[in-house]
Structure 1
Amino acid sequence: MILTQCAACAAPLGLSLGKKCGRCSTRYCGPECQKKSWEEGGHDKLCKKIKKAGGAEQYNANKKHAEAVAVAVEKCADDTKGQTCFICTQALHWKTKEGLVRGCSCRGTAGFAHVSCLAEQAKILVAEAEENNLDWKAKSLRWKRWHTCGLCEQDYHGVVRGALGWACWKTYVGRPETDVDRGMAMGVLANGLASADHHEDAVSVYEAELSMRQRLGACGSAFWASEYTMLTLYSNLARAYQRVERFDESLRMRRDVYSGFSKLYGEQHGDTLTVASNLANLLVDLGRIEEAKALLRKTTPVARRVLGDGHDITLKLRRAYAMALYRADGATLDDIREAVTTLEDAERIARRVLGGAHPVVAGGFEASLQEARAVLRARSA
């Protein structure tokens, strides 16, 4: 995670509390911890090295990035064997000597790349937008390359997205706190940590980002506390709370976010449907089946009409509705059959659009379909 704790005792410091080393900016809760870290914790040997790397945050980002890239390359090793990067056309990166990854929905020989090549490509696109004074809409499309494949246009997932999150933070962490790109990079990092299943770390970064945006927004900057930005951050934080089983906080935030997006954009907007899917899945997981059904009966037809049957949000809504059908206490045989039929149809579409390795398919539909068929067999018997 980013450095929000004392380097000696791990006490929480947020983004502004505590004391910093005058040379390398390593953070401590006070002079006692700083003295202990220097005398007993080995900081006397690391201090110059950390300063040379650009300070404590930069040093930490560089280290975490290298670790995350190594994990991603190892995870993808079987899939990438014998392939080359679609950006630099080499098997090993010319500078870092890292191997290849692929964490999107590309098929066949497409989509193989080095994390460093993907990061450099995104960095160049964002820099060009800044140099040419492009408007925010154009710049945000370029920012997507930090987390979205330029070939299949699907989000990266798992450890690959985690590695790209650290690559993004590593790129912009040295900028002033008020810099927009640095703030964007914090969000990319948090989302990457969540995708790589580092949920406690993701919570820490989301909470730090929320604190930063509230503080800077109070100073009068519209960007830091715009309604859309804050709703998106609350949605991400609610997801992270859910992953660490802070369910009451997550449910309260998800309801508020859905209400907020509905008022801001209307019930047919893609962002509103996205947060509706998140809320519905949490309701199903918590056993609030009737509330989930009511929400899904309202939103699923809208998503199919507005986004299409192949959109990942539509697919997630259909899966949630099927789960609500067969998990309900009073589920009839017809309900369970409808759930199985719905999952079979949506799973075929998801496999065609996203590929069998995508988490929505491998970790979502396959498990739900197996569970639904087991319920159907038991009820039929």
Structure 2
Amino acid sequence: MILTQCAVCATELGLSLGKKCGRCSTRYCGAACQVQHWKEGGHDQLCKKIKKAGGAEQYTANQNYTKTVSVAVEKCAEDTKGQTCYICTQALHWKTKEGLVRMCSCRGTSGFAHVSCLAEEARILVAEAEENNLRGKVFDERWVRWNNCGLCKQEYHGVVYCALGWACWKTYVGRPEANVLRMHSMTTLGNGLRAASQNRERLGLLESQFALMQRSRVNREAILAAQGNMANCLEDLGRIEDAIELSVQVHSGMKALRGNRHTNTIICGLNLAASLQSKGRTTEAQSLAAEYLPISESVFGPLDVNTLGLRSTYLRARCRDPDISLDDWRKAVSSMDDLYRTAVKVLGTQHPLTVQCKDDGEASQKALAEIDAQASLEALAL
């Protein structure tokens, strides 16, 4: 994590306040906490170890990576029994002795891997891109391997994404703060934290990233994308009004900058529609999702996760529209069933969007059945 708190009393230090240990760069709010940490907090035993690891940021990243890999392996243990890594072909990693993971859309015996193998593969691909001065789409196709399966091409989810996020951050944390790969790694870690529902930690990371971007004077599009991630985090934390306010600004800014057919604008539209739907503003959510659905199908494709997300948001808002007719409700519920089957086929049964589609469909079917039952009772009474 970006260290922005005193190691002793957790006082917020931002990016520049307080002081650091001269040897390992552990941060404190002042001399008193630093002395206390040395005398009572065990820092005298850890200081050299932290310095040897590359400093406090690197040490923290390494520790969190090891912990999250263990969690991911345990989470996937039942699914990975008797399998081998598709990269190194071993069940246990030869060096780390870690087990296997798989939280993507692969089926059967495909897609099992060690987090460290996935991370090394991504690191090599990005290093080659950097060495050959690759830019744009070519670079993006390599960077995406930090969070997308190399076989099914779908994004990892859950604790596996979180482990890869920490792997990415620990790979680039030692670079200068304005380095583009370090910036990218912060975004990858933030998305990984979201996948594991660690949203308070994610918000602190995103706030630090935003401050770094402003100090480094990065381009307007990157700033808007960072603000969009912050809006998502605010919604996940239940701060829906704050999320909508920020999402409106981001969507408007991205649309003015890039037009409504750019990938970033479409994603901003999806995020805003989802926030509006969560707040119960169903008419606005339906309208925005309906606007971007055909655009997303054209730009991303009909089976892309963003297109499926827009369709899910539209149908959720549709089913919660107080003015919807009974016939239209039945059609929406039927469309939800179709969307769920598509999500299972494309994303797998465990993907968060698939789970959401299943839950939404079941809830809507139950509500519809209750209405039908009530209508039958009223008909009998007549």
Q: Which amino acid aligns with 1:121?
A: E
Partner SS, residue 14 of structure 1: coil
Q: 1:136 to 1:312 in 2, by over 3 A?
A: closer
Match of 1:373 in 2: 365
The alpha-carbon deviation at position 305 of structure 1 amounts to 4.1
Contact between 1:336 and 1:375, CA under 8 Å: does it hold in 2?
Answer: no
User: How far, CA to CA, are the matches of 2:149 and 2:335 in structure 1?
Assistant: 29
- Paired with 1:53 and 1:317, the residues of 2 have a C-alpha distance of 44
Question: Which residue identity lines up with residue 296 of structure 1 in the other structure?
Answer: A
Partner of 2:380: none
- Separation in 1 of the partners of 2:299 and 2:174? 41
Please give the root-mean-square deviation of Cα atoms over the aligned residues, in Å. Answer: 1.4
Quick check: 1:238 aligned with 2:234? no
- The separation in 2 between residues aligned to 1:254 and 1:296, in whole angstroms, is 14
User: Does 2:282 align with 1:277?
Assistant: no
Residues 1:149 and 2:132 are matched in the alignment: no
Question: Could you tell me how far apart the structure 2 residues matched to 1:269 and 1:131 are?
Answer: 28
1:331 to 313, 324, 328: 324
Q: Which amino acid aligns with 1:184?
A: H
Structure 1 unmatched runs, 5+: 218-224
Q: State the one-letter code of the partner of 1:287.
A: G
Residue 37 of structure 1 deviates from its aligned partner by 1.1
**Aligned with residue 333 of structure 2, among 327, 340, 348:** 340
The match for 2:379 is none
- C-alpha displacement of 1:90: 0.3
Q: 1:322 touches 1:338 (CA, 8 Å); kept in 2?
A: no
Q: Quote the residue 1:222 is aligned against.
A: none
Moved more, 258-267 or 187-196: 258-267
Is the Cα contact below 8 Å between 1:281 and 1:320 reproduced in 2? yes
Q: C-alpha displacement at 1:328, in angstroms?
A: 2.1
Query: How far is 1:102 from its partner?
Result: 0.6
Deviation, 1:269, is 2.8
Unmatched tracts of structure 2, length 5 or more: 374-382
Between Structure 1 and Structure 2, how many residues are aligned?
373
Match of 1:100 in 2: 100
Q: Is the 8 A contact 2:178 2:213 kept in 1?
A: no
CA–CA distance in structure 2, aligned partners of residues 15 and 81 of structure 1? 44
Per-residue deviation, 1:233: 0.8
Give 1:287 shift: 0.6
Is the 1:91–1:99 Cα contact (8 Å) retained in structure 2? yes
Structure 1 distance, partners of 2:181, 2:294, is: 37
State the TM-score, normalizing by the size of structure 1.
0.95
Separation in structure 2 between the aligned mates of residue 309 and residue 146 of structure 1, nearest angstrom: 24
| Secondary structure of the structure 1 residue equivalent to 2:78 | helix
Q: Tell me, in whole angstroms, the C-alpha distance in 2 between the residues paired with 1:128 and 1:301.
A: 36
**Contact 2:172 2:181 (8 Å CA) reproduced:** yes
Deviations 1:121-140, CA, capped at 9 Å, x for gaps? 01111111122222344222
SS of 1:360's partner is helix
1:221 corresponding residue in structure 2: none
Q: Could you say which residue in structure 2 is the equivalent of 1:24? A: 24
Listed one character per residue, the Cα deviations across residues 163-214 of structure 1 (whole Å, up to 9, x for unaligned) are 0010011111112212221121111111111111111001010100000010
The 3 A distance-change label for structure 1 pair 23 and 182 is same
TM-score by length of 2: 0.94
Match of 1:129 in 2: 129
Structure 1 residue 306: Cα displacement: 4.0
Structure 2 partner of 1:3: 3
Q: Which residue of 1 aligns with 2:353?
A: 360
Give the aligned partner of residue 263 of structure 1: 256
Residue identity opposite 1:277 in structure 2: L
